[in-house]
A and B are shown apart, each in its own frame.
Chain A
């Protein structure tokens, strides 16, 4: 079962209030650039347990969900 892992995120806050995550720093210190944010919507994470703004991101060619559970970010780790 997937579990919830809180991660460090670098993000850009634009003047209209939009937030775009740019990179994720994994718990062991590895940093992953986010190539593209494909979709943003409010959603629940039934897999990891939680809820927030969900960013559908492409990281190293793979799609992954990144959740902003104000004020923390988490991913659904396998």
Chain B
């Protein structure tokens, strides 16, 4: 039986939610931006009017202002966006149990078995759009197709507030004409490499010999070929499925440049504590610590190190992260952003016992006691002395708004 897959993309999501709450801004170009004082001042989302002026996501505020002098900047409200994303998922769930999120604003739905109840794919897509508009006050573009990749292409095809059907009969006419950059997982560098071989459209990829693509790109080359030919058969996961956690990390762009070891120490401490807390919350130990650093020239790199024995103690994670930083970073270049990540996860209940672990277990007990205090009385109830040396730098809370990135390949 032919599958019916929908991909729903909430148009200019953050900006749409903000214009819903600010009707006075509805006819003005607006952009949701990070906080300038904290040096997070980039465009996170923009509405159609701002898009028309050429404003792009990720640009700095002054660049946007240059292109569009009347633009209104609005601060983000992530709690609201998460609430709207959940409400949208509630609507999807009325049509099928197979709903798979791809970020806050995108979802795949497999409605193959729902046609007797709700009609064919296009009817369901139109119904969903109508309900999103009426009940949440935001619009969506929905793609309807027989696989996830083409459904996603469909939702990008016509915006805003539209349904695009890509069937097995007509996908060559619609999809194959599109430039390669439209296909999921073709970014700037893959696109440039394809261009070298004269491959410009998705149809070009589909008509290229699969073995040639493999020789250039390795295994992903085969995947691209399958995507382009409509052979993607990955399922839409069930709502109740949880994605296995592979790593836990926290990062931040500091409110000012981190010029000394002391500055880096403060930020890494907070990040390590948050990572360790989340490891314990999920019952994990990590065997590898990874750091990601970006300096003031915006040059970024990452380094990692294996631990002697798996841990969820923030002291160990911090010491390893700081050691990596000292080893690899040149002291005369200030840092702008830092991320600490724990990988190589294993379950705490399967812990390999060690003869030398006694003091570590005590530390873990201590940290668990601190977790308990913080859960009951807030994160500021107990802090390390080092945080008080620079209250401005240590003011951020990495657990504040956590939005997990997702990968298509799980």
| A binding-site residues for B, Cβ under 8 Å | 1, 41-51
Q: Mark B2-42, 1 if CB is under 8 A from A, else 0.
A: 00000000000000000011111000000000000000000
Question: In the bound complex, do residue B136 and residue A49 qualify as a contact, i.e. CB atoms below 8 Å apart?
Answer: no
Q: Which residue from B20, B22, B24 sits with its C-beta under 8 Å from A51?
A: B20
Question: In the bound complex, do residue A51 and residue B23 qualify as a contact, i.e. CB atoms below 8 Å apart?
Answer: no
Extra contacts, 6 of them, besides A44-B135, A49-B23 (Cβ < 8 A), are A43-B135, A44-B20, A44-B138, A46-B23, A49-B21, A50-B20
The contact sample of 8 A-B pairs, CB cut-off 8 A, is: A42-B135, A44-B135, A44-B136, A44-B137, A45-B137, A46-B20, A50-B20, A51-B136
In the complex, what residue of chain B is closest to A42 when comparing beta carbons? Answer: B135
Residues of the B chain whose Cβ atoms lie less than 8 Å from the Cβ of A46 = 20, 23, 137
In the complex, what residue of chain B is closest to A50 when comparing beta carbons? Answer: B21
CA distance A78 to B144 in the complex (A): 41
B43 to chain A, nearest CB (A): 22
In the complex, what residue of chain A is closest to B22 when comparing beta carbons? Answer: A49
**Which residue, of B23, B24, B133, B134, has the highest number of chain A Cβ atoms within 10 A?**
B23
Residues of the A chain whose Cβ atoms lie less than 8 Å from the Cβ of B24 = 1
B89 to chain A, nearest CB (A): 14
CA distance A43 to B20 in the complex (A): 12
B interface, size bucket = 10 to 19
Q: Mark B37-52, 1 if CB is under 8 A from A, else 0.
A: 0000000000000000
Q: Which residue from B22, B23, B87, B135 sits with its C-beta under 8 Å from A47?
A: B23
| B binding-site residues for A, Cβ under 8 Å | 20-24, 87, 133-138
Residues of the B chain whose Cβ atoms lie less than 8 Å from the Cβ of A50 = 20-21
Question: In the bound complex, do residue A1 and residue B135 qualify as a contact, i.e. CB atoms below 8 Å apart?
Answer: no
Question: In the bound complex, do residue A48 and residue B23 qualify as a contact, i.e. CB atoms below 8 Å apart?
Answer: yes
In the complex, what residue of chain A is closest to B17 when comparing beta carbons? Answer: A51
In the complex, what residue of chain A is closest to B134 when comparing beta carbons? Answer: A43
CA distance A1 to B43 in the complex (A): 29
**Which residue, of A45, A46, A49, A50, has the highest number of chain B Cβ atoms within 10 A?**
A49
Residues of the A chain whose Cβ atoms lie less than 8 Å from the Cβ of B23 = 1, 46-49
Residues of the A chain whose Cβ atoms lie less than 8 Å from the Cβ of B137 = 43-46, 51
Residues of the B chain whose Cβ atoms lie less than 8 Å from the Cβ of A43 = 134-135, 137
Question: In the bound complex, do residue A49 and residue B20 qualify as a contact, i.e. CB atoms below 8 Å apart?
Answer: yes
B11 to chain A, nearest CB (A): 14
CA distance A45 to B136 in the complex (A): 9
In the complex, what residue of chain A is closest to B25 when comparing beta carbons? Answer: A49
CA distance A47 to B137 in the complex (A): 10
In the complex, what residue of chain B is closest to A1 when comparing beta carbons? Answer: B23
A21 to chain B, nearest CB (A): 19
B21 to chain A, nearest CB (A): 5
In the complex, what residue of chain B is closest to A44 when comparing beta carbons? Answer: B137
CA distance A18 to B133 in the complex (A): 25
Residues of the B chain whose Cβ atoms lie less than 8 Å from the Cβ of A44 = 20, 133-138
CA distance A56 to B122 in the complex (A): 31
Residues of the A chain whose Cβ atoms lie less than 8 Å from the Cβ of B138 = 44
Residues of the B chain whose Cβ atoms lie less than 8 Å from the Cβ of A1 = 23-24
CA distance A44 to B138 in the complex (A): 9
B298 to chain A, nearest CB (A): 38
**Which residue, of A1, A42, A48, A51, has the highest number of chain B Cβ atoms within 10 A?**
A51
B160 to chain A, nearest CB (A): 15
CA distance A45 to B137 in the complex (A): 7
CA distance A48 to B22 in the complex (A): 8
CA distance A1 to B20 in the complex (A): 14
CA distance A41 to B136 in the complex (A): 11
B238 to chain A, nearest CB (A): 25
A42 to chain B, nearest CB (A): 4
CA distance A48 to B137 in the complex (A): 12
CA distance A51 to B23 in the complex (A): 12
Q: Which 6 A-B pairs have the closest CB atoms?
A: A44-B137, A49-B23, A42-B135, A49-B21, A51-B137, A43-B135
